[in-house]
Chain A
Amino acid sequence: MEEQETQPQEVKVVPEASMTFSPLDLLFNPRSVAIIGATPRENSVGGVITKNLLTKFKGKVYLVNPKYDEVNGIKYYKSILDVQDNIDLAVIAVPAPAVPKVTEECVKKGVKVVIIISGGFSEVGEEGAKLEEELRRVVQNRIRVLGPNCIGVYNAFNGLDTFFLPEDRMGRPRPGPVALISQSGAVAGAILDWAARRNIGVGLAVNYGNKLDISEAELLEYFARDNRVKVIVMYMEGLKYPGEGKRTLEVMKEVTSVKPIVVYKAGRTKAATGAVKSHTAALAGNYEVYRAMLKQANVIEADNLTDAFDMAKALATQPLPRGGNRVLVLTDSGGMGIQAVDALDMRGLQVPELSESLQEILRKQLPPLAVTRNPIDLTGSATDAMYKFVLDTVLPTSYVDMALIIALMQIPGLSINLGNYIVEARRFGKPIVVVSFGGNEYVAKFESNLEENGIPVYHAPHRAAKALWALYEYAKIKGAAKEW
């Protein structure tokens, strides 16, 4: 794997007029968007979406709301049918009872895909379910629908952002190689906010709500095609429709042969099954069966959301291990080193003792107290240069396939420059993860320097170990690494 850049190149996915595009392409990369239910009232759902698109979207925006003619010099249309231009995507944020009618208008207008933000359908009981059936009759293969009852799409590359959470409440992540599919809208919003704060590049995110039409399987297929996406993270509660399990499994299996999928499936316990059912109006089903699906589809299962992003960060930035599962552990703290070895061993990764001849070379340059077997413990007298020396000496050899580097920056011998040495070690083409732990600003600077240069940083050895495990698992799936 040569693609190691954290800032993926701008690949052109924006549709051009002369070509035809699938509805899913238009969902994420429209040239023109109409907001039905647009409003200048900033604290409303329609208002936040209106503001998002007017200020950030790199394309044409048309506002539709019969209550307004013009606000701040921007024209409002009575109906989408009054817009002269072609509309690639319509975003619907009107009260539920009005949704079937405006959707019908979108069909007439020739719109190929709509995002229905509005809630008040099958998630609220019988009346809502009837309304959803009415909407289904309007839709009938004439138009594609994301939602209803969803938060829609976030695309950091083109500024398409239907997340109706104001910017001061939900930070927006930078463009980057991670794509998120979330069954829950609120969870999607919280994840993006969390990712923005940690500078994790989540370039694309989507929530599909009641899934009247567009399913997680189709979204996975789209993300598999989009070159900007290196890894797909999915938050999933349960599938909804009879028989859709097989198709989801098939699609997942195809996608994982192209790029990794990390899934966190919530609603694992009997106690939570009822909650899943009422939350998603889905049949939920036994967690064991979902686990079976994930295993069969070569999906990497996460235990929680931070776990999912820990692994995604590594999968998005690191090459896959080619030889096997042997890890170099390089540390300035014996205690941290032991924790790392425990965590690696529990995940089935090896920390092999280095050969005597290689240790001899290391011993000649390192202080007498340093331990050279692997873990290599440079102790509290470690310096940047010692780390560089060990990395340059051991990482290119065939004794190890990956590196877990622990750098407790509290000791005086280490500086920000250590980060540059670690970044340079990427040239050996082996996965590298770093454990850093602390609270001062110097540590924070060290960490952000690494992350900006494509080295994932973790605040505990077990999290870094799990990230390496995910790389090894995916390498096995891709047939890159040998089974040990």
Chain B
Amino acid sequence: MSMNPIIAKALEEGRYKLLEHESFELLRQYNIPVPDFALVQNVDEALKVVKDIGYPVVLKVVSPDIIHKSDVGGVILNINSDDELKNACERIRNNIKEKAPYARISGFLLQRMVPEGLETIIGATKDPIFGHVIAFGLGGVMVEVLQDVSFRIVPITEEDARAMVREIKGGYRLFNGYRNMPVRDEEAVIYIITKFSELLSDNPNIVEADLNPVIVLERGGKGAYAADARFIIGSM
């Protein structure tokens, strides 16, 4: 199997991390739901494409030189109007000028806001003996504090993915409507895990990946979205 063009391009340019829109594009190729997004160069382009995407949106800086976008004020959430959008573009430019003056800005990522849901993490590393290993856990600080994570080795079946979701201690109760919380779309997460496994199988160059958060909405067709994605690649 030949190398995925997105990964090939990054390696050609000497990059070991995919840009955010590249990551989303890769996920889309495997039918992993991502919020609608577009890459824009300036305010005018942003105002044009937002008509298709629809408010509310998130605006993120795209730069090969910035790893943690939020730390340098490169992310603005919950933008609800054209005025707010114009304002956001301006604010991000100023933030970067001030906090990361060295950084090249290759554009902005305009992304539809995913409604609130249960935040989970689907991650992957490449083990020298086992190859790709997928991890699943609840999002936020809890995953680190409780170390409540399940692992499986790629390729994983639907049954394996279901077992992963049910294995985490707090997870299963939260999925099933703990107290007055809604019941979550478990099948949608299981689907993402199996497609993610397929993506990793096809792309041995991926050495690390995180879908964080994967937001799981209510059961009954609302589904789940990878709201953010990060891929680290290697030249093998």
Contact = CB atoms under 8 A, between A and B. Distances in A.
Interface in B116-145: 127-131, 133
Interface in A221-237: none
B156 interface: yes
Given A283-B128, A288-B151, A295 B163 contact: yes
B133 A289 contact: yes
A479 to B, nearest CB: 12
Interface string A255-298: 00000000000000000000000000001011011011101100
Given A291-B151, A295-B152, A296-B153, A245 B129 contact: yes
A245 B153 contact: yes
B151 to A, nearest CB: 4
Contact of A285 (B128, B149, B156): B128
A299 B152 CA distance: 14
Interface in A48-76: none
A242 interface: yes
B160 interface: yes
Contacts of A241: 129
Nearest to A297: B153
A246 B153 contact: yes
A412 interface: no
Q: Which 5 A-B pairs have CB atoms at the shortest separation, nearest pair first?
A: A245-B130, A292-B151, A245-B129, A292-B152, A239-B129
Nearest to B152: A292
A473 to B, nearest CB: 13
Contacts of B129: 238-245, 283, 285, 289
Nearest to B155: A246
Interface in B72-129: 127-129
A244 B133 CA distance: 14
Interface string A114-143: 000000000000000000000000000000
Contacts of A239: 129
B160 A245 contact: no
Contacts of A283: 128-129
18 contacts: A238-B129, A239-B129, A241-B129, A243-B131, A245-B153, A249-B153, A283-B128, A285-B130, A286-B127, A289-B130, A289-B133, A289-B153, A292-B151, A292-B153, A293-B130, A295-B163, A296-B152, A296-B160
Given A241-B129, A286-B127, 12 more contacts: A244-B129, A245-B130, A245-B153, A246-B130, A249-B130, A283-B129, A288-B151, A289-B151, A292-B150, A293-B130, A293-B153, A296-B156
Contacts, number: 50
Interface string A381-400: 00000000000000000000
Interface string B185-213: 00000000000000000000000000000
B127 A285 contact: yes
A106 B59 CA distance: 71
A245 B131 CA distance: 7
A399 to B, nearest CB: 28
Interface of A: 238-246, 249, 283, 285-286, 288-289, 291-293, 295-296
A423 B160 CA distance: 39
B123 to A, nearest CB: 12
B153 A242 contact: no
B127 to A, nearest CB: 6
Contacts of B156: 296
Most buried by A among B150, B153, B156: B153
A63 to B, nearest CB: 40
Contacts of B127: 245, 285-286, 289
Nearest to B159: A296
A290 to B, nearest CB: 9
Interface in B143-170: 149-153, 156, 160, 163
A242 B151 contact: no
A249 to B, nearest CB: 6
A110 B151 CA distance: 46
Contacts of B150: 292
A289 B129 CA distance: 10
Contacts of B130: 245-246, 249, 285, 289, 293
A239 B128 CA distance: 10
A467 to B, nearest CB: 23
A476 to B, nearest CB: 12
B33 to A, nearest CB: 25
Contacts of B133: 289, 292
Contacts of A240: 129
Nearest to B133: A289
Nearest to B135: A288
Most buried by A among B130, B133, B150: B130
A240 B150 CA distance: 23
Most buried by B among A243, A283, A295: A295
B137 to A, nearest CB: 12
A293 B155 CA distance: 11
Most buried by B among A245, A283, A292: A292
A244 B156 CA distance: 16
Nearest to B131: A246
A293 B134 CA distance: 12
A263 to B, nearest CB: 15
A295 B150 CA distance: 11
B202 to A, nearest CB: 15
Nearest to B151: A292
B225 to A, nearest CB: 26
Contacts of A246: 130-131, 153
A239 B130 CA distance: 9
Interface in B12-44: none
